[in-house]
A and B are shown apart, each in its own frame.
Chain A
Amino acid sequence: MLKAIGLRSVDELFAPIPAEYRLSRDLKVPRQMAESEIMDYFRQCSRENGEGYTSFLGAGAYSHYRPVIIDSLISRGEFLTSYTPYQAEISQGTLQSIFEFQTMISDLTGMEVANASMYDGSTAAAEAVMMAVRLTGRRSVVVGRSLHPEYREVLATYATHQGMPLSVAGFGEDGRLNLKELEKSITPETAAVLIQSPNFFGTIEDVAAIAELAHKRGAMLVVSIAEAVSLGIVEPPREADVIAMEAQSFGVPLGFGGPYCGVIATREKFVRQMPGRLVGQTVDKQGKRGFVLTLATREQHIRREKATSNICTNQALVALMVNIFMTIYGKVGLKELAKQNLAKAAYAAGQFAKQGKVLFAEAPRFNEFVVQTGEDPHAINRRLLGQKIVGGLPLKKFYPELGNAALWCCTELTTRGAIDTAVRLVAGSEGSVRTAKEESGVEEVAR
């Protein structure tokens, strides 16, 4: 090949790079490894990463069963190793599947249109707010304190540097947003009110009432949904103008926080201000149905600095996992799945209520709840960890006002046995740990 090009050595190819910058040594990276060594390395990492633990963590990342056909299908090279479907004639597989994804997300969220995906729930929420800013021509934003704290941080990053004022509305005794406080924080300058439902505590917000407050002042309501499985049994926030969702619950592995699958859904009239890719139906020259990326004039490769967002690569393969999951469970399965989550959390909350205080019990909730204890939840969790159980997320870091509180989550994968053991361990001293261990047969793990 060098001869064909008319060169004598590979070095000549790099002649355009000024000699003083060329690297004359080896990179200091791990030496080349055989496939078997690479497998061993990551298996070792896996063993040091919570392998074999039972977990009660949710808080924006949920452990649901992933039917095996998801991985068999997404592993097909035609899905895995293709690019963004700009060349529609040889990308109809990806395009049609995104069209189906958009349809199901629209149906589940009660919206009219959904995009092809965003990076994740947190950036989807921030981008949805920016969309409201463009649509209303206003610049300030009101955020519910019951929105995922890390989503709030992401929004703050996006908004602060654009000079958009942010205010936070607190929650009341029932864990839902305090409507009086919310009403006061909405001004004629408010572009959007951003809330989460079910909120960070698992509690379902009164979306209709919040929508009324926002709309009365001409602001838009953006609702973030972090636990997608809730949509099987919880009425979607139909009163919202924009829904920013995290679809990880639908067949996406926890994967230590990513990649996940954000998505924005809204009403048709707002679609031209929606960020991200969209697939539309059309026909070819013979009148045959086909699908294309559409409304690209919103996007960066056409509009450059005037685009709705800079988003380019998003989460297509993860959206495909979500799509397959939604197809598997469908109209009936999704409801039954959500009902099991509801039942497990209701049982667990009932058991915890006997030992400690379950906060916000008056409002409806889905599969998460907050348990307040006398003891520091970190200390409790250390006890549980010894039994290979990961307890609820201590909330002091995010909500110091709740004292010794932790956010617990149960899904269809949480067994009654695990719940009973955890409840006993939370309540108990060292003595009751032994009892629990004997009764449940959980082995002590030396760590």
Chain B
Amino acid sequence: MKDMTRKATRHVNQNEGLIFEKSSAGKAAWKLPPLDVPEVDASKLLGSSERKDLGNMPEVSEIEIIRHFTRLSTWNYAIDLGMYPLGSCTMKYNPRVNEAVARVEGIANGHPYQPEKISQGAMQILKTLSECLIEITGMDAITLQPAAGAHGEMTGLLMVRAYHQSQGNARKKILIPDSAHGTNPATAAMVNYAVENLKSDSRGMVDIAALEAQMSEDVAALMLTNPNTLGVFEQDIHKIADILHAKGGLLYMDGANMNALVGKVRPGDFGVDVMHLNLHKTFSTPHGGGGPGSGPVAIKKILEPFLPTPVVVAKADGTLGFDYDRPQSVGRVRAFYGNFGMFVRALAYIQANGPDGLRQTTEDAVLNANYIRKGLEGTYDLPYSTPTMHEVVFSDKLQAKKGVRTMDIAKRLIDYGFHPYTTAFPLIVPGALMIEPTESESKEEMDLFIEAMKSIAEEVEEDPQTVLDAPHSTRVSRLDETAAARKPILRWKPAE
């Protein structure tokens, strides 16, 4: 507790009920211009389709709305407040210039169906970002359409399926390491593939012998995260690719951890056939409390015929246009062209960094993770001693002896002014503490974090109950999740 005040101090934040509890008839925060066309009789135009009742929609004033959401906002932790070391989530700084350029009029208000002739600006952005991402990944082509990482996974596997189909056999299963993110198996199921688990070896990497044994002509692809969820680079990556390719399988890379690679190594160069990126991780678009994301899928030439429609192409007259005529395409995965606003932000990020900045970003991210590893080694158990890239995974083995688990330590970290790390993932580490500082953190902030983690470890020895009851400084203490799931209350209802 002694150092707690270095990062966090208690302060007053205001209570705020639900907006419905503030509503009263006659209050309004809206104003419409006078109608410049004749009024209409809705009941005459709509007949029985006319709506009479808008239920319990609120009636409140503008200042009440401002205060309501401002007060709510103060109950959130955020990157803007401090280090947010969620492993695999890459919670880096979200540059404000990204927000500014996304709000320039023609970019914010462009209609997806406006004629191509007046959409050249947007298509230039699509094309430039595509070229940058192809270069960064070392792949041959890309689709920006998927709305998030998991959506990208689906799109990628659909292309894998279409490719195999074009070879005469869609194949039956996808191999997924036991360290993988939950979206991987969920995605495989969505595209009608069976999932087969692949175990990790003692280094936390793909077990090559197991892969060789499990690989067959029924396997459509291996979905591999690299660096994997332990923050470990798969050193035998090319051997893995060779084993797959020898039997006609494809190598899918989950690019969730691309922040460890940009500018230093390119997946296309080490045998990856198809991969998705998370613009909301590696390319700094804001997480926004859980989206919007964006999950472009980059591919090798052999998969190009199967890209979702449309694809941006240069036309004979030098202008850009959309090509819809792609007979082998897997089809659309989303209406329009994807989360365009995120493309704008990602491109601004690439421009703000340039080649040197992108490389430096990766180096700093890896350096930071290794600094934290060094700082906490010994205090927390390190289940895999394999070198760390952009994130480090400890376990709660030492603290568990006192009955304190990873989630308890995470909750106690809140009292020290930090967002918790990722808990209980990956599944191959019991009681995992998965820490990803990103390049955004200074040495000073990381020193505070290391100090906080060490202080918690001491508390576990001296006064484990304090840790078990944490957090102590938040508006609400630990919430009853069991009750929430048993009798779900998913909406407000007026008192009877």
Contacts and interface: CB of A to CB of B under 8 A. Distances in A.
Given A78-B73, A106-B491, A123 B147 contact: yes
A144 interface: no
Contact of A14 (B114, B332, B366): B366
Contact of B78 (A78, A117, A285): A78
Interface stretch (B209-217, B245-253, B262-270, B457-465): B262-270
Interface stretch (A89-97, A183-191, A352-360, A422-430): A89-97
28 contacts: A5-B371, A30-B128, A42-B107, A61-B113, A73-B66, A78-B77, A78-B80, A81-B286, A82-B78, A89-B478, A90-B474, A91-B77, A91-B289, A92-B475, A92-B476, A93-B72, A94-B289, A96-B16, A99-B18, A123-B151, A151-B335, A234-B51, A284-B478, A294-B488, A328-B62, A329-B30, A330-B57, A336-B30
A339 interface: yes
Rank and list the top 5 A-B pairs by shortest CB-CB distance, nearest first. Answer: A317-B288, A32-B354, A257-B336, A77-B80, A46-B106
Interface string A24-43: 00111111110101110111
Nearest to A22: B265
B228 to A, nearest CB: 12
Given A88-B476, A121-B335, 9 more contacts: A4-B374, A10-B366, A14-B265, A21-B270, A257-B335, A294-B484, A301-B182, A309-B190, A331-B23
A256 B477 contact: no
Interface string B53-65: 0111111101001
Interface residues on A, range: 35 or more
Given A82-B79, A83-B86, A364-B46, A344 B37 contact: yes
A8 interface: no
A257 B113 CA distance: 8
Interface stretch (B296-304, B343-351, B396-404): B343-351
B5 interface: no
A342 interface: yes
Contacts of A281: 484, 489-490, 492
Contact of B99 (A75, A90, A235, A290): A75
Given A280-B485, A328-B30, A330-B30, A364 B154 contact: no
B115 interface: yes
Given A330-B58, A337-B32, A343-B40, A84 B287 contact: yes
A78 B117 CA distance: 39
A320 B425 CA distance: 29
A117 B109 contact: no
Contacts of B150: 300, 310-313
A263 B89 CA distance: 24
Interface in B408-431: 410-411, 414, 419-420, 425
A43 B104 contact: yes
A119 B387 contact: no
A52 B370 CA distance: 51
A50 B106 contact: yes
Contact of A91 (B76, B149, B186): B76
B1 interface: no
B18 A100 contact: yes
B243 interface: no
Contacts of A63: 109, 111
B453 interface: no
B110 interface: yes
B42 A332 contact: no
A271 B353 CA distance: 45
- Give the one of B74, B107, B119, B235 with max A CB within 10 A: B107
Interface string A218-243: 00000000000001111110000000
Nearest to A101: B491
A89 B478 CA distance: 7
A257 B81 contact: no
Contact of B111 (A55, A87, A151): A55
Given A49-B106, A256-B337, A99 B78 contact: no
B264 A17 contact: yes
- Give the one of B56, B76, B286, B389 with max A CB within 10 A: B76
Interface string A279-298: 11111111010111011110
Nearest to B18: A100
B121 interface: yes
A8 B335 CA distance: 51
B335 A328 contact: no
